[in-house]
Amino acid sequence: MRVNWRRRELHVKIVYYGPPMAGKTTNLEQLQRMIAPQHRSELLSLDTEGDRTLFFDLMQVSLGKVGGLAPRISLYTVPGQVRYQHLRSMVLRGADGVVFVADSDANRLEENRALWQQMLRHLASHGLQDIPIVVQANKRDLPNALALDELREALHLPEEIPMFPAQASRGLGVRETFMAIVRFVLLQPSSKLTASPSSR
């Protein structure tokens, strides 16, 4: 988290992480629809092949001024496909918070687990093991959706990590997830302001 003195802005980076096709890009697309245009940039999707993310998606959102500072939130998604491991790690650098988008599909449990473990490793390698994390259980509409408790257990989620049910394709749960991670990042008493861009 950085403060730009001149522009009285607080810069925050949030990354949507998760297995392939879980709905990360869909979350940003829905936010783009829901957020008034004057408060956001266009959604930038780099190098997509069909609807698969190959590089990352990026959208910036400005929030209302609080305490004289205007938070500017950069939302990134990572590509879920296995071969983009390094890119996922790269996008996580400098993150202030993460939304893990899990796929509720019972058949995708292993993939959820693998990507969750991988994310924790990447975060630790960047010294970011303590940043806020929120989990979204997406695709609640699927007939074979796992129960929320089962998903929680499978990922060994600690109690303090909140989980939000969602059906991102219809915009359900998207707003709640976004607001939760933003609050978590901005309002946590221990959150740090860094004076130098090198310090994380």
Looking at the DSSP assignment, which residues form a beta bridge with residue 174? none
Strands 97-103 and 70-77, how do they pair? unpaired
Kindly state whether residue 53 participates in binding Mg ion, applying the rule CB under 5 A: yes
99 part of the interface to another protein, by CB under 8 A? no
Positions touching ligand GTP (CB under 6 A) are 18, 20-26, 51-53, 77, 79-81, 138-139, 141-142, 167-169
Shorter beta-carbon distance to another protein: residue 56 or 116: 56
Return d(Cα 44, Cα 59) in angstroms, integer: 6
139 close to 167: Cβ distance less than 8 angstroms: yes
Q: Parallel, antiparallel, or unpaired: how do β-strands 163-165 and 133-138 relate?
A: parallel
Please state, in angstroms and rounded to a whole number, the distance separating the CA atoms of residues 144 and 133: 26
Q: Judged by CB under 8 A, which of 61, 123, 135, 168 binds another protein?
A: 61
Q: Which amino acid is at 145?
A: A
> 174: helix, coil or strand?
helix
- Structural contact between residues 71 and 107, judged by C-beta atoms closer than 8 angstroms: no
Residue 83 in contact with another protein, rule: CB under 8 A: no
Candidates 20-28, 37-45, 107-115, 141-149 — which segment interacts with another protein by CB under 8 A? 37-45
Taking the complex as a whole, the smallest distance from the CB of residue 94 to another protein amounts, in Å, to 4
Which chain residues interact with another protein by CB under 8 A?
1-7, 10-11, 13, 33-37, 39, 41, 44, 46, 55-56, 58, 60-61, 63-64, 66-69, 71-72, 74, 86-87, 90-91, 93-94, 175, 179, 182-183, 186-199
